[in-house]
Structure formats: C-alpha cells, structure tokens
Amino acid sequence: MPFKNTFFKSAFSVDNVIFGLDDSKLKVLLIRRKGEPFKGEWALPGDLVHPKENLRDAPKRVLKELTGLVDVYLEQVHTFGKVDRHPVGRVVTVAYYSLVNIHKVKPRAASFASEVEWFPVFDLDSLPFDHLEILHKCTSRLQKSVRTMPIGFELLPEKFTLSDVQDLYEAVLNKKLDKRNFRKKFLSMGILVDVKEYQTGVAHRPAKLFRFETETYDEFKAKGFNFEI
Amino acid sequence: MPFKNTFFKSAFSVDNVIFGLDDSKLKVLLIRRKGEPFKGEWALPGDLVHPKENLRDAPKRVLKELTGLVDVYLEQVHTFGKVDRHPVGRVVTVAYYSLVNIHKVKPRAASFASEVEWFPVFDLDSLPFDHLEILHKCTSRLQKSVRTMPIGFELLPEKFTLSDVQDLYEAVLNKKLDKRNFRKKFLSMGILVDVKEYQTGVAHRPAKLFRFETETYDEFKAKGFNFEI
DNA sequence: AGCACTTAATGTAATATTTACACTTAATCT
DNA sequence: AGATTAAGTGTAAATATTACATTAAGTGCT
C-alpha cells in the first residue's frame, strides 16, 4: 500500500450552523466552548469527524448531541482549509447548516459545550476561529436555498398561518416582502393544504391554518413539485 | 495542547475538474493514473493537500502541474467523505472545477499521471472511485454558475463572435438556445466591447468580433456588473 | 460571372411574470 | 360601543420571456 505512507498528520472537522426561527428572527445555536482554544467563548458547534464515520453523519451527530433531533434538513455549504485557520494544528472543516424548530427543542450542553444558546444571526459580529465567515457563508446559502426549496417544513409548527410563512421568509432574507404578492405566489405552488381551522385567542381577525402537502423535503422532491419564491 | 492528541490517521485530497470547450463540446481533462489503486485508468486529476498548503492552493497546484496555467477561474463545489470512497484508506476529498482555454494549453503528464487527455463530459459514463459523481456535481454547478457569472473570460479567445459565446453556452448547458433572444440578452448586459473587426477567411458572412469589457472575473465583480442569462 | 452554400444579423407581437398599492373583515381589549 | 390589531383580498402597469423568418455578406464551384 504505497499510498498509505503519504498520509500526514492533520484532521478534519465539521461545523454545523443550526438555524431556527424565534420571535420573527433568524437565530443560530452557539455553544460555549469547554476546551482550548477559545475556552469559554461562544462558537459554532462542531467536532472532529470520526475515523469510521461518513462525513455527512458528523454534523448529524453534533446536532443530535445538542438537540436530540434526527432527520432534519441538512445541507453542506463549503469547506474551509486555510493553513492557519485553527491555532493548534491543521484542521480542515466542512461547514453544514441545519434547520430546526426552535420551539420543539430544548438544547442541552454536549461533550464539547458547557452551555448552549440561540443568538440572532444578523446581530453577531465576532466569533472565534473563522466562524464568522462560516456563519456568513451558511446564511447566504440559506437565503439562496429558501427561494427554491420549501424549507418551511423544518422551521414551522405543523399547522401555521400564511403570515407565519411570510415572517419566516422575512426573517431569513432579512427584508420585508409584499403581503399580497407573497401569498399569491406561495399559494400558487400548491404545496399547502387548508386544514379548515382558524387561529383562536388572538386579538384580531383569526387567520386560516395550513399544513404542508408533504412532510419532508425528500417527499416534496419525490412528488416533483416546483418551487421558486 | 490537548487537542493534538485527538488527531487521527486520515488524509484529505482535492480533485480538480478542469473544463474546456473544444469542437463546440464541453470537455474535461482526465489523467491516466500512474499509481495504485486504479493504476492505468482514466480519472479526475487530484492530489493530497500538502501540510502547509492552503486548501484552495491544492487544486491550483494540480492545474499548474498539468497545464502550466495560473490565475484561472476556480470554484469549490462539494466535499465527498464517505468512509469507503477510497479503497486504500480514509480520504476526504474536496472537489473544485476550473475553466481553461483548451487551445491555449498543451497538457502534460504530471507526477501522478502517465497521460492526459480531453474527454467530452456528456459522453463519460464510468470513472474510478466516486469520480463520476464528482464530475456530475461539478457539471451541474458549472451549469448554474454560467447563468450568473460571465465565465466566458476563461473559455473563449480574446476576440470572439457572438456565435462563439452562444456555442459556449449551448455546450455547457447541453441544449440549444434561441439565437435572437440569446444575443439580445447577452448584449444588453453591456459587458462586451465591439472591437470593430470582422472574421476573415470564412465561407459565409463574416461575424463581428467582440472582447470582454473586463479581463478577469474579479475585475468584473469589482465593476459591479450584473449578469443573468 | 453567376449561382449555390453557409452563417451573421436583425424586430415584433403574444404571453407570462413581477411589482406596486389600499380598503374591509373579524376577533380582543378597555 | 369604540379602539386596536392583524387577516384577507384584486387590479392595472411595467417588465421579462418566448416564439419565430427574412435578408446580408462572404467563399467555393462551374
């Protein structure tokens, strides 16, 4: 095995940018680092990839440790590999993002974290390592993906109003959208089902409730839906 | 340095999918592998990332070894990391693509290659490792990027006709486009300069020659051009 | 010289998409 | 009962996309 001799000392890790929607704001789950370097600072959750672990399973493991969730939407974004990006050694990291329903989740500290907390994405302006760059790249990718994929599956409760959906899109895109145009376009895609119920207990006209036609993104794709917003 | 003890035996590599345009076909540069595994088979060019080399420099080095070219358009696409993707050990690979002018280049065998040759992208249906998947992913990405970035810089000669540009787009997208609509849209972007010359020696009405307003993609971005085709 | 051949160049009308915009409705709260 | 809040709804103008056919300017052949 001539090849094996050329292996060199290095490591690869994954970072998982976990997005959620709360209070009409796009938030990201950060951990307080348990170990050096940057011990005690808020950073993106991540871990080294295990030797017998498929790459894509590593961010899933990180997410599961922190939230208990499995089977959420997960997208690989970019790999960061500057020689000096990690102060301790050569670590190439693959960045992923996932989308979770912030209200269905009670994040808990994990092996690599002493504390976890949701932070508003657009307020963060410093993070250790190159984590700010990673966050930016993942946020940009999310903003692109949200226009061609029905990611609401993951971020909304089972039944929701059209205003909930619009709030979500405004939070992710970080800008206001026209109400009538948004509703027109979203409804015309035919992926929502009217559940024939209404909001209750709100101090205004109650909104109609909807659910998604399919329950996961994979099902959605399988049905051959087209999506563009 | 508690972190360092957790490093494990593994390697990361890059693969560079080098695209060119020839005979109105999108082609990719393959190498005949010099070493095991898959010795003697046609495969994507790639190499292990050197310990003190920034990740993005590795595909540049591969390209330079094979073609002598530096400063070409290079885009990271995806990282592949299934445990068993490489028969000899754990190798996570980062896939890039670059675009080169096939007629300005005389590819030569490199340390890892005994032979190099251009192959039509849409005719390939088997490659070693997961290289076919990598090629597909890079081709799809190129097809997306070509609609929002003026990649013609890299693939066309300095002076070219509008038909050359259309041929390029048809080769990359692998479909026919409407001549009048294409020209209208491309010209309206204002990135072409009429060089006031005409083709010579062709057995038909000679076409006007154009050049790009800027010489590199970075300049293009710097000028704040908008592009969508 | 004339004709055949090849690709370049050009405009318009029909259709589809996107944008901008304001009032009425139905509930709660005081 | 009146104030407050967010839900729900349609249209016209502007813009973008699509489909489509004829004339122009060279070379090559006889």
> Whole-angstrom Cα distance, residue A162 to residue B14?
45
Please tell me whether residue B180 adopts helix, strand or coil conformation: helix
* Count of pairs with CB atoms under 8 A, one residue in A, one in B: 96
CATH code: domain B162-223 is: 1.10.10.10
Q: Which CATH superfamily is domain A2-145 in?
A: Nucleoside Triphosphate Pyrophosphohydrolase (3.90.79.10)
Q: What is the pLDDT of residue A9?
A: 64
How far apart CA B131 and CA B135 sit, in angstroms, is 6
- The dihedral region occupied by A70, where left means phi > 0, alpha psi between -120 and 50, and beta the remainder, is beta
Answer whether residue B229 shows pLDDT above 90: no
Nucleotides of C under 7 A from a protein CB: 5-12, 18-22, 25-29
- In this predicted structure, the answer to whether residue B188 has a pLDDT above a threshold of 60 is yes
pLDDT tens for B129-181 read: 999 999 999 999 999 999 988 888 889 999 999 999 999 999 999 999 999 99
Position B107 pLDDT exceeds 90:
yes
Residue B5 has pLDDT above 60, yes or no: no
At residue B183 the predicted structure's pLDDT band, cuts being 50, 70 and 90, is: very high
SS3 per-residue string spanning chain A: CHHHHHCCCCEEEEEEEEEEEECCEEEEEEEEECCCCCCCCEECCEEECCCCCCCCHHHHHHHHHHHCCCCCEEEEEEEECCCCCCCCCCEEEEEEEEECCHHHCCCCCCCCEEEEEEEEHHHCCCCCCCHHHHHHHHHHHHHHHCCCCCCHHHHCCCCECHHHHHHHHHHHHCCCCCHHHHHHHHHHCCCEEEEEEECCCCCCCCCEEEEECCCCHHHHHHCCCCCCC
Which chain B residues contact residue A12 at CB under 8 A? 10, 12, 81, 92
Average pLDDT of chain B, as a whole number: 92
Q: Nearest nt to B184, CA vs C1'?
A: C10
State which nucleotides on strand D lie below 7 Å from a protein beta carbon.
Answer: 4-11, 17-21, 24-28
* B31 vs A153, residue with greater confidence: B31
Identify nearest nucleotide to residue A180 by CA to C1′ distance: D9
Per-residue pLDDT of A66-89, as tens digits, reads 999 998 999 999 999 999 999 999
| Helix A179-188 vs helix A162-173: crossing angle, to nearest 10 | 110
Is B27's pLDDT higher than 50? yes
Q: What is the pTM of this model?
A: 0.93
Taking CB atoms and an 8 Å cutoff, what residues of chain A touch B37? Answer: 3
User: CA B35, B36, B39, B44 torsion: positive or negative?
Assistant: negative
Q: For A34-63, what is the mean pLDDT?
A: 96
Q: How many CB atoms lie within 10 A of CB B9?
A: 12
Q: Is the peptide bond before A37 cis (omega within 30 degrees of 0)?
A: yes
In the structure, what pLDDT confidence band is assigned to residue B50 with cuts at 50, 70 and 90?
very high
The predicted structure's pLDDT at residue A167: 96
Distance of alpha carbon A213 from the chain centroid: 22
Measured distance CA(A132)–CA(A135) in Å, rounded: 5
* Mean of pLDDT over chain A: 92
Q: Give me the residue spans of the domains in chain A.
A: 2-145, 162-223
pLDDT for position B9: 65
Rounded mean pLDDT, B39-52: 96
Strands B192-198 and B42-43: unpaired
DSSP-derived pairing of the beta strands B192-198 and B208-212? antiparallel
**What is the tens place of the pLDDT at every residue in A138-168?**
999 999 999 988 888 889 999 999 999 999 9
* Backbone angles phi and psi of B212, in degrees to 5: -80, 145
Chain A residues whose C-beta is within 8 A of a chain B C-beta are: 1-4, 6-12, 35-37, 48-49, 51-56, 76, 78-83, 88-90, 92, 94
B132 in helix, strand or coil?
A: helix
pLDDT band at residue A224 under the 50/70/90 scheme: confident
- How do beta strands B25-33 and B11-22 pair? antiparallel
